[in-house]
Amino acid sequence: MSNVLHPVVTEFERLLNSDEILMADFYADRCGPCRMLAPIIEEIADEYDGKVTVVKIDVDGDGRELAYKFGISSIPTVIFFKDGSEYTREIGYMPKEHYTAILEDMQ
């Protein structure tokens, strides 16, 4: 079972305002680097279950409004949120260790 959530806008707002760290992957199925990143996102969601909420936002689907709100102009873009505010964002494919290092710094 996957620990990655696929929230709609109202669910995302609720998650953003929770106490947990939020890692949001803005992606599209048409995007090659996004497909390469997908298994890494799944692994991180499993490894950080209970410590980090991991979500995927489809910029071509239900997540179009969120993509616009957060100024997503290139995918994949992964945004890390802490205490309801953006902590950092990474644009393009990065290795797993890059993302986990950010999460460790945020703990």
pLDDT of residue 107: 86
Check pLDDT > 70 for residue 17: yes
Residues annotated as part of the active site: 31, 34
19-47 as b/e: b if 16+ CB within 10 A: eebbbbbbbbeebeebeebbebbeebbee
Q: How far apart are CA 55 and CA 103, in angstroms?
A: 14
For residues 8-16, give the mean pLDDT.
92
The per-residue pLDDT for range 78-98, each reduced to its tens digit, is 999 999 999 999 999 999 999
pTM, 2 dp: 0.95
Residues belonging to the chain: 107
At 19, is the pLDDT very low, low, confident or very high (cuts 50, 70, 90)? confident
What the chain holds in terms of domains, given with CATH numbers, is 4-99 (3.40.30.10)
The overall average pLDDT reported for the chain is: 95
